[in-house]
Amino acid sequence: MGEALLSMPIVRKLFGKAFNLATSIEDMIIDLVLSSEPPHEKSKYYVGVALELLEEARKSLSSGDVCSACSRIWISVVLGVKAYVQAKRGIELDSIHTMWLYKDEVARDLGSEFNDLWLRAYALYVGCGNSYVDPSDVCRVLNCAKKFIESLALNLWISEST
């Protein structure tokens, strides 16, 4: 897909808004694009974007860009939580703070493996900017994230047809 060019004042405004909401610019744009979609469609879209991000993370990791891979994995896990809560409860999570609150509900429903994934993905995301991150750790978390997102995709499509 092509690139988008934005002026620096717009970019600064986006970064400021994302920082204030404790979210990513990508997440803000996705929410804007999906604002008029029905909840189930939003959930499916979040899952689709998360799967694409995981593929991009795999490519980044293969090319040695570990920090980019960590960022994409984290965003995909966050989108998975958004998709799950949107589909199950019809609630739109609009900040990372609310996702931290609802991740416990997701963990109760899906088990401790999800909680481990959430914490490991976050640790890689934060740690990558501050210290060395082992690519083999990133690969393991990437595989867990892919399993989580694929199970969400399967459950969303199954629940839609029943």
Q: What is the pLDDT of residues 102-117, one digit of tens each?
A: 888 888 888 889 999 9
Task: Tell me which of 100 and 59 has the higher pLDDT.
Answer: 59
DSSP annotation of 93 reads: P
Condensed to tens digits (0 to 9), the pLDDT of residues 71-105 reads 999 999 999 999 999 888 888 887 778 888 888 88
Confidence grade of residue 162 (pLDDT, cut at 50, 70, 90): very low
Q: Is the pLDDT of residue 26 over 50?
A: yes
Condensed to tens digits (0 to 9), the pLDDT of residues 130-157 reads 778 899 999 999 999 999 999 888 877 6
**φ, ψ for residue 104 (rounded to 5)?**
-70, -35
* Domains of the chain by residue range: 8-161
pLDDT, mean over the chain: 85
**φ, ψ for residue 94 (rounded to 5)?**
-110, 5
**φ, ψ for residue 129 (rounded to 5)?**
-80, -15
The CATH H-level (homologous superfamily) assignment of domain 8-161 is Nucleotidyltransferases  domain 2 (1.20.120.330)
Q: Say which residue the tokens 């499916």 belong to.
A: 44
Contact criterion met (CB below 8 Å) for 4 and 12: no
Q: With pLDDT > 70 as the criterion, what percentage of the chain qualifies? A: 92
